[in-house]
Structure 1
């Protein structure tokens, strides 16, 4: 039974070029009691000028349209859509593959969810449901290295290494970290090398994503 009494279903729209994928999403949403399909368009630009743009609570954007297209949409939505209604839709980026560097850029630009197209239906619904409720969400298989820090013991790090790690998690670059701590950029690189060795993370994007998760900005679902 539809939840017409008490609360309305959240509307999910999508920017996707594959009709079969759109049909699959529509069918999936029909099986839920709190989400419903809105509309499909070939690009974010097309969606923004559509009559449906003022109705969506969640907007899925296919990363296959290009990382630049996704980032442009995330930057334009507050300006373009905010004039139509007081809030903008929560954006979920999905794709066959998403690198940690791309994921971090999407999240920093305002994306609320990131999930693989190959995820099972339960995972996809969990993502859409979470962002429709105002939470941020990401699939942990996309960020395997970042999620691996869950069980790392930070006492293995020296106090200076912990300082460097925390600044990386905040998005500081090496030169900025050096200025903040009063050390040389080369020394920062040495500290990062030790941090990567001790945590098992290969890059700073993993550390930054972990920082967002540790602060409760985003949540992970195992997959």
Structure 2
């Protein structure tokens, strides 16, 4: 029995790039590009009307603009899964996208086969990211993570959710300086050096995504 193709809408600032994606997906037996837009607003209109399986969004529209767009997409209640790609995409920025609801993160410099792998993995319900983006944070945490105090585990979990220090302090009813002290102890015990690495390790522990080499 032949399975229906997963549909892809591309929200991309460069028309030439849109055409490249169209050609890439043209001969795919499981993926089909059904629409494109060069503006975020127009892209949202297409998502509303088509409810595609995946929407590929250009980070060049602006990090915060894309995060807000993804938040609006989630509020629509559609099953459309967002994948963010960009020419420049650093570790902290990519993690913000994942925490903001992106199901895939990939650079435009990735090989075509890697983009297809990303789209297929996301279509299957698994979050995907290009491993080379997270070179620094790909170190495994030390076993000291099990030695965290109850309060340190609370702080670590809120960091994994993307909260800032002052928000964590407000949530737990403690001072911002106290949050910083807890983070220092967490980093020492786990071997993680920065908060975005801590958040990424949390995602890895949950097994919620797949990583692939560029």
TM-superposition CA deviations, 1:90-124 (whole Å, max 9, x none): 10000012233332332232211111111111211
Structure 1 182/15 Cα, relative in aligned 2: closer, same or farther at 3 Å? closer
Distance in 2 of aligned mates of 1:68 and 1:173 = 16
What's the TM-score once normalised by structure 1's chain length? Answer: 0.78
Structure 1 156/39 Cα, relative in aligned 2: closer, same or farther at 3 Å? closer
Aligned equivalent of 2:136: 145
Aligned equivalent of 1:132: 123
1:38/1:52 contact within 8 Å kept = no
Match of 1:122 among 113, 120, 129: 113
**1:69 is the counterpart of 2:65:** yes
**1:46 is the counterpart of 2:42:** yes
**1:23 is the counterpart of 2:19:** yes
Aligned equivalent of 1:105: 96
Instruction: Extract unaligned runs of 5+ from structure 1.
Output: none
**1:217 is the counterpart of 2:208:** yes
Offset of residue 66 of structure 1: 0.8
Offset of residue 9 of structure 1: 1.0
Give secondary structure in 2 for the equivalent of 1:137: strand
TM-superposition CA deviations, 1:25-62 (whole Å, max 9, x none): 11211232211111111122112224884142110000
**1:93 is the counterpart of 2:89:** no
Distance in 1 of aligned mates of 2:174 and 2:15 = 55
Aligned equivalent of 2:54: 58
Deviates more, 1:71-80 or 1:196-205: 196-205
Instruction: Extract unaligned runs of 5+ from structure 2.
Output: none
Distance in 1 of aligned mates of 2:159 and 2:174 = 15
Offset of residue 11 of structure 1: 1.0
2:103/2:126 contact within 8 Å kept = yes
1:165/1:207 contact within 8 Å kept = yes
Match of 1:6 among 2, 7, 19: 2
